[in-house]
Amino acid sequence: MIKYGKPILKVGSRRNGRSSAQKSARRIQKGVIHVQASFNNTIVTVTDVRGQVISWSSAGTYGFKGTRRGTPFAAQTAARNAIRAVVDQGMQRTEVMIKGPSLGRDTSLRAIRRSGILLSFIRDVTPMPHNGCRPPKKRCV
Amino acid sequence: MAFSLTSLSKSLSSLLPSQHSLPNLPQNPPNFAPPVSLSDPKSTSIRLSSCLTTPAEETNAITCPSLAYANTLFFKSGHYNVQVVVADNEAEDKLLGRFRRAVFKAGVIQECKRRMFFESSQEKKKRKVREASKRNRRRRPKPKDSAQSKEETSKKDDDEEDGDNWELPEGDLPY
């Protein structure tokens, strides 16, 4: 089963010798910003429309450690920095896919909006099991 | 044939506004593209984008009658729970508010929290009772209480009068 419905062509690394050169020279105008906002961290990944990752950043990569990674401010910085790296490459239109329950969702969205990049859709793609695996037991805190 | 089609379209159009008013209905985008053919990705994606850019700024999305109660929708780009189409010149706060409201309506965060840890059957029952009470409290706040209090006071008066049997019954003796 193909996950995203698009056939991702598998090209051997030997055949495609110019992959590294291609990466730096690529100018992608349309992309997708994935925001995974968990309670402990926020990871922002920028991919192209097919799902191939261009760049990523997270709260942890910007000096936040431990409990501070999960804060909305950390999410904001992660989003801002991720987009900064990508706007230089010429990205104009993006979709936003938000995953996970956290306070970082709203602030990262705000930061994305403020950075000046055009948004086409905002989607919530939090994975919902149709009563699948048994989750871990309740915490006695 | 033509007559049936027009009647169908009328019924569909009548369905749409009623669906908008339903509280639990998640805001889902239009066209359900049936399981995708991989042969022409471009054409379907173009169709998708053109259809989804038509709704006005105010409406989040048009609901598809056949998928009225589907929480997730399978599209070319994958599953999702909520979609909000963004206009370019929309204010940041307004957009955020719209997204948050859509997510709340879809019940994504609630569901996520529920599924974080396992809940036993007892806990599940308690949760259901709590939710039901919330729902019922919202729908019937006061009129029931006022009617009940009136009934209670009238009943009390009647009891006091009738329970007191010291007086002789009225009327002559039968003989």
Give the per-residue pLDDT at B122.
95
The answer to whether B19 contacts chain A (CB < 8 Å) is no
- Our measurement of the distance from residue B112's CA atom to the centroid of its chain's CA atoms, rounded to an integer in Å, reads 18
The domain tally of chain B equals: 1
DSSP-derived pairing of the beta strands A118-124 and B78-80: unpaired
From B92's Cα to the closest Cα of chain A, the distance in A is: 7
DSSP B42-98: HHHHHHHHHHHH-S-SS---PPPGGGTT-SSEEETTEEESEEEEPPTT--HHHHHHH
Contacts of A118 in chain B (CB under 8 A): 88
Higher per-residue confidence, B77 vs B135: B135
For residue B65, the model assigns a pLDDT of 54
User: Which of A32-41, B33-42, B73-82, B112-121 has the weakest average pLDDT?
Assistant: B33-42
Q: ipTM higher than 0.95?
A: no
| Residue in chain A nearest B26 by alpha carbon | A124
What does pTM read for this prediction? Answer: 0.59
Whether residue B97 lies inside any domain: the answer is yes
In B, which residues are within 8 Å of A97 by CB distance? Answer: 80
Is residue B65 one of the residues assigned to a domain?
no
**A115 with A83: CB under 8 angstroms?**
yes
User: Per-block average pLDDT, block size 10, for chain A (141 residues)?
Assistant: 56 50 66 92 92 91 90 92 86 90 89 88 91 92 84
Any alpha helices (H) in A1-141, and if so which ranges?
19-25, 72-87, 104-114
Question: Residue B20: its pLDDT value, please?
Answer: 41
Structural domain containing residue B131: 89-138
What's the pLDDT score for residue B150?
A: 56
Does residue B100 belong to the interface with chain A, where contact is any CB pair within 8 Å? yes
Give yes or no for a contact between A45 and A24, defined as CB atoms under 8 angstroms apart.
no
Q: Between A and B, how many CB-CB pairs are < 8 A?
A: 90
B38: contact with A, CB 8 A cutoff: yes
Question: Mean pLDDT, to the nearest integer, of B89-97?
Answer: 88
Structure token pair of residue A96: 């936003």
Percentage above 90 pLDDT, chain B: 17
CB contact A136 to B (< 8 Å):
yes
In the predicted structure, residue B98 carries a pLDDT above the cut 80: yes
Query: B86 near A122, Cβ under 8 Å?
Result: yes
Domains of chain A and CATH, by start = 54-124 (3.30.420.80)
Contact assessment for residue B27 and residue B81, using Cβ atoms and an 8 Å cutoff: no
pLDDT of residue B153: 56
Residue B166 lies in a domain: no
pLDDT of residue A115: 86
Q: Does B96 reside within a domain?
A: yes
Residues 6+ apart with CB under 8 A from A5: B36, B38, B41, B76, B77, B78
Q: What is the mean pLDDT of residues B124-132?
A: 94
Token couple for B39: 């042969």
- What is the nearest CA distance from A47 to chain B, expressed in angstroms? 13
